Amino acid sequence: MAFTRPTLTELVNRICTQINTHVEHANAFIKQSVFNVWAKIIAALHLDLYVYLDQLAKNFFITTADINGLIARGSDISVYRKKASFATGNIIVSGVPATNLPLGTVFTTASEQQYKTTIDAVVGIDGSVSVPIQASTAGSNGNQDPNTEFNLVNPIIGITSTAIADESGITGGANIEGVEEYRARLLLALRNEVGAGDTTFYENAALSRPGVTRARAFRTFAGPGTVGVTFMMDDTYTDGIPRAGDVADMQEYLESIMPADLNELIVFAPETTMINIVINDLTPDTAALRSAINNNLIALFQEYDFGETVYRAQIETAIGSTPGEISHVLAAPLVDTTISPYGIAVLGTITYGVTE
């Protein structure tokens, strides 16, 4: 039976009716009556109770629960909300051989993200040393591409003031899991009975890692007794594709929990099929409408599953259903796009023009 929370006015009317029923000659509906004042006071006191009961009823179900309810339900089935994580990686520091670089040395990027070294390091005889660092603040903003330049905050004699990220970049930083993303993961866990070693086991395990938004596991990926796992990080990187460091971290984690009878586990970044979109003759052609269309297309591509065909009609619908759009011509793509079973479609450039 559904629970419907009464409004303050409804409570006042209920109490007034009860007073009139049980007190002879009373008319609690008269605003100047002391009974009416009592009714309003009692109703106000009871409203908080009904608000609590309403929230309690919503938290019985994952589909309607707030974040506190989701966390409580998740703890019952060992599916916990993913916390924000710190980006880590290695930078190449140059300097005079044998110069010490202390633990906790602070570097910063042009975007003013700060990082600290996590070990004491010494410059090698070749004048350089690879040093592990960690972002000072958790979140996806700490991720950096390979060869990103870092600047030493406080000068150290014998150490060059600039360093660069190595070929793996700085990775692993992720924001705290969104409420709706956590809700979807809880529902997935409840609706799919997981057995150790089946594909759902690996997919749920991958989804439990910070920043991971989509995951797919493949049996007999490289032959009998092997499993392949790929994943996406849509909220962490613009293209959603995990970096080498993310793949290595996922490999290490899944190997730590995989069944003993599995011959080989292979974690890989998905093959990407870049789809560029050309929209001509947009009416009205305004910056606001272009931005709204771009957001619709981004949302569409984040819904595609691994190996899922991208139909031209879906792109047409995403554009045409944008509020305010009157007409357009989709000049590219002209055909549906088939995606590799181990790949995923990625939104490329969006170009606006005029039909020639």
- What pLDDT, in 10s, does the model give residues 179-236? 999 999 899 888 776 555 688 889 999 999 999 999 999 999 999 989 999 999 998 9
Backbone angles phi, psi at 212, to 5 degrees: -80, 125
Measured in whole angstroms, the distance separating CA 77 from the mean position of its chain's CA atoms is: 21
CA torsion through residues 181, 185, 187, 188, sign: positive
Backbone angles phi, psi at 171, to 5 degrees: -135, 175
Question: How far is residue 241's CA from residue 328's CA, in Å, rounded to a whole number?
Answer: 30
The HSE-up count of residue 201 (CA atoms within 13 Å, CB side) is 14
| Residue 159: pLDDT over 60 | yes
* Interval 312-330 mean pLDDT: 96
DSSP secondary structure code for residue 13 in this structure:
H
Q: In this predicted structure, what is the pLDDT of residue 189? A: 82
Q: In this predicted structure, what is the pLDDT of residue 3? A: 66
Look at residues 243, 302, 308 and name the one whose alpha carbon lies nearest to residue 269.
243
Q: How many residues does the chain have?
A: 356
CB 294 within 8 A of CB 300: no
CB atoms within 10 A of CB 77: 11
Q: In this predicted structure, what is the pLDDT of residue 258? A: 86
- Residue 37: partners with Cβ closer than 8 Å, 6 or more residues away: none
Look at residues 157, 103, 99 and name the one whose alpha carbon lies nearest to residue 123.
99
CB atoms within 10 A of CB 333: 15
CA torsion through residues 348, 231, 137, 105, sign: negative
* Interval 135-160 mean pLDDT: 96
State the helix-helix crossing angle for 287-303 and 312-320, rounded to 10 degrees.
Answer: 140
Question: How far is residue 118's CA from residue 130's CA, in Å, rounded to a whole number?
Answer: 12
Q: What is the pLDDT of residues 24-50, one digit of tens each?
A: 888 999 988 999 999 999 999 889 888
Query: What 3-state class would DSSP assign to 75?
Result: helix
- Residue 349: partners with Cβ closer than 8 Å, 6 or more residues away: 276, 277
Domain residue ranges in the chain: 8-58, 88-171, 192-268, 271-353
CB 185 within 8 A of CB 130: no
Architecture of domain 192-268 in this structure: 2-Layer Sandwich (3.30)
Tell me what percent of the residues of the chain surpass a pLDDT of 70: 98
* Interval 85-96 mean pLDDT: 96
State the helix-helix crossing angle for 8-22 and 34-58, rounded to 10 degrees.
Answer: 130
**What does the mean pLDDT of the chain come to?**
92
Architecture of domain 88-171 in this structure: Beta Barrel (2.40)
Q: In this predicted structure, what is the pLDDT of residue 196? A: 56
Reported confidence tier of residue 78, pLDDT bands at 50, 70, 90: confident
| Residue 4: pLDDT over 90 | no
Q: Residue 250: left (phi > 0), alpha (psi -120 to 50), or beta?
A: alpha
Q: In this predicted structure, what is the pLDDT of residue 194? A: 57
Look at residues 261, 257, 260, 300 and name the one whose alpha carbon lies nearest to residue 277.
300
Reported confidence tier of residue 53, pLDDT bands at 50, 70, 90: confident
* Interval 86-109 mean pLDDT: 97
Q: Residue 240: left (phi > 0), alpha (psi -120 to 50), or beta?
A: left
